[in-house]
């Protein structure tokens, strides 16, 4: 039987909290009940917390302004996004100065530029010579034509024997969009391209995107870097990203059951079993 935990117990037990955004602090309707009071309380106490989100479509400043519109006073430096993982990744892989094709809104391209790369326009002839393809978000209005561009880029480079590097900051496949409603997100777009390349080039190694956000360790490493402690709890609503990622990284996982995924409790696989349940943002 899973143990329930309260906000005050979390503050006593841990030296810092990692909070997922969508389904924990906000949803499509706005801030979730009690989220504003809890954020105000954390700010007032100076308790260390970071929003840890797979978003790669908004810079921390943009996200902070959006949270503020919803009544959540979360400074940009308390927001760790999957998009911001591009900077250490590009540094580690010698991709500063690289040229990239990016799918996503302007902030996705801004993340790539922050990482030291040049972003080429999809209409530019240079797109065929890029070093990397980054799928930042599912948002582009011309979704299918852009995906076709990306597929053609990947295929033409495989034909030429010089595969393009594939990078996916946000590995989420879907997002819950309200009661009974779901949407595809960037991770599913990567699967399309991976499956198509595997079918067309069965003799080649699998063309896989490098995945950076939850449940992979890079975003948790970034959080530990900021927090300077591993005595952290990840509060999330998604078993496959928040809970699996925190458990694999070795920090505690708290499943928020008040967001969009109340039915998640039916899943009892050990590697997605949370340490605690949080049933409400009540102080």
Of the pair 90, 249, the CB lying nearest Mg ion is at 249
The strand pairing partners of 256, in sequence order, are 278
**For Mg ion, which residue of 237, 243, 246, 253 counts as binding (CB under 5 A)?**
237
Rounded to a whole number of angstroms, the minimum distance from the CB of residue 259 to Mg ion is: 7
Taking contact as CB under 5 A, which single stretch among the options 9-17, 19-27, 90-98, 150-158 is the one that binds Mg ion? 19-27
Q: In this structure, is the dihedral angle defined by the CA atoms of residues 157, 158, 163 and 169, taken in order, positive or negative?
A: positive
| DSSP three-state, residue 19 | strand
> Half-sphere exposure of 69 toward its Cβ, with a 13 Å CA cutoff?
8
Task: Scan for tokens 């597929």, then name that residue.
Answer: 151
Residue closer to Mg ion, measured from CB, 23 or 215? 23
Cis peptide before 215 (omega within 30 of 0): yes
Cβ at position 139, least distance to Mg ion in Å: 17
Cβ proximity to Mg ion: between 172 and 252 the closer is 172
Tell me if 22 contacts Mg ion by CB under 5 A: yes
Distance CA 136, CA 109 (A): 8
Burial group, residue 116, by CB count within 10 angstroms (0-12, 13-18, 19+): middle
- Using the contact rule CB under 5 A, the part of the chain among 82-90, 161-169, 237-245, 249-257 near Mg ion is 237-245
The CB-of-86 to Mg ion minimum distance in angstroms stands at: 21
Q: Which alpha helices (H) appear in 53-185, and where do they start and end?
A: 60-69, 86-92, 106-114, 143-159
Q: Which of 18, 20, 52, 168 binds Mg ion (CB under 5 A)?
A: 20
DSSP 214: T
215 forms part of the interface with Mg ion (CB under 5 A): no
Cα 16–17–23 angle (5° rounding)?
Answer: 175
Residue number, 16 or 176, with CB nearest to Mg ion: 176
Select 27 or 119, whichever has its Cβ closest to Mg ion: 27
Considering only 10, 17, 23, 136, the residue that binds Mg ion (CB under 5 A) is: 23
Binding segment toward Mg ion, per CB under 5 A, in 22-30, 98-106, 157-165, 247-255 = 22-30
CB of 20 to Mg ion, least distance (A): 4
For the record, the structure tokens of 87 come out as 């900077």
Write down the least CB distance from residue 84 to Mg ion, Å.
17
Minimum CB separation of residue 245 from Mg ion in Å reads 12
| Cα separation values, 98 from 14, 19, 133, Å | 40, 33, 11
Closer residue to Mg ion (CB): 207 or 238: 238
Residue 41 DSSP code? H
Q: Within positions 131 to 190, which residues make up the interface with Mg ion, using CB under 5 A? A: none
- The residue whose Cβ lies closest to Mg ion is 23
Query: Min. distance of Cβ 91 from Mg ion in angstroms?
Result: 28
Rounded Cα distance, 15 and 233, in Å: 9
Residues that bind Mg ion (CB under 5 A): 20, 22-23, 237-238
């Amino acid at each position: 039987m899973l143990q329930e935990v309260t906000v005050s117990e979390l503050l006593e037990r841990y030296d810092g909290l990692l909070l997922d955004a969508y389904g924990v602090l906000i949803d499509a309707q706005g801030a979730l009940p009690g989220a504003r009071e809890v954020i105000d309380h954390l700010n007032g106490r100076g308790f260390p917390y970071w929003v840890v989100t797979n978003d790669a479509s908004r810079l921390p400043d943009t996200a902070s302004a959006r949270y503020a519109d919803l009544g959540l006073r979360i400074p940009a430096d308390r927001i760790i996004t999957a998009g911001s993982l591009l900077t250490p990744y590009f540094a580690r892989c010698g991709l500063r100065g690289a040229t990239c094709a990016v799918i996503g809104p302007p902030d996705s391209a801004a993340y790539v530029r922050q990482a030291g790369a040049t972003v080429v326009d999809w209409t530019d002839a240079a797109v065929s010579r890029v070093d990397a393809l980054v799928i930042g978000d599912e948002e582009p209005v011309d979704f299918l034509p852009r995906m076709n561009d990306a597929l053609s880029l990947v295929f033409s480079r495989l034909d030429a024997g010089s595969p393009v590097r594939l990078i996916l900051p946000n590995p989420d496949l879907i997002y819950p969009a309200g009661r009974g409603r779901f949407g595809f997100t960037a991770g599913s777009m990567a699967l399309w391209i991976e499956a198509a390349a595997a079918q067309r080039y069965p003799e080649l190694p699998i063309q896989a995107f490098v995945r950076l956000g939850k449940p992979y360790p890079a975003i948790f490493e970034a959080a530990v870097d900021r927090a300077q402690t591993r005595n952290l709890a990840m509060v999330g609503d998604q078993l496959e990203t928040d809970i699996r990622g925190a458990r694999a990284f070795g920090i505690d996982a708290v499943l928020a059951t008040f967001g969009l995924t109340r039915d998640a409790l039916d899943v009892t696989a050990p590697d997605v079993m949370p340490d605690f349940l949080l049933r409400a943002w009540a102080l």
